[in-house]
């Protein structure tokens, strides 16, 4: 008998149910990837090309925005998995 309820949402691509420890590890990985992407986005926003683009258009380049948005999404998903993954 499985330790997870039948309606559990913690299922991987092969149909196996994740245990709480795997969810925590995945949460930490997503959190780390998100932080790295946010750092890439910050560094890209400080580049000369991005500063010139921001000066004339009032916004960052699409590549910089992609880094920042993906970083925020990964941090949010990782934090959610760490907080709610064991339930």
Task: Take residue 32 and report the two structure tokens written for it.
Answer: 């780390």
DSSP state of 11: B
Q: How far is 41 from 45, CA to CA, in rounded Å?
A: 6
Q: How far is 30 from 24, CA to CA, in rounded Å?
A: 10
What does the pLDDT read at residue 1?
45
Q: Which residue bears the tokens 């970083």?
A: 71
Q: How far is 19 from 86, CA to CA, in rounded Å?
A: 8
Q: What are the sequence ranges of the domains in the chain?
A: 33-84
The three-state secondary structure class of 40 is helix
What does the pLDDT read at residue 6?
53
Q: What would the pLDDT profile of 11-67 be if each residue is shown by its tens digit?
A: 555 655 556 778 888 999 999 999 999 999 999 888 888 888 888 888 888 899 999
């Amino acid at each position: 008998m499985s330790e997870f309820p039948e309606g559990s949402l913690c299922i991987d691509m092969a149909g196996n149910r994740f245990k709480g420890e795997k969810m925590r590890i995945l949460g930490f990985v997503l959190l780390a990837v998100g932080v790295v992407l946010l750092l890439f986005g910050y560094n890209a926003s400080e580049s000369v090309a991005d500063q010139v683009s921001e000066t004339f258009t009032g916004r960052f380049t699409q590549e910089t925005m992609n880094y920042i948005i993906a970083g925020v999404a990964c941090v949010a998903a990782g934090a959610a998995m760490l907080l709610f993954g064991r339930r």
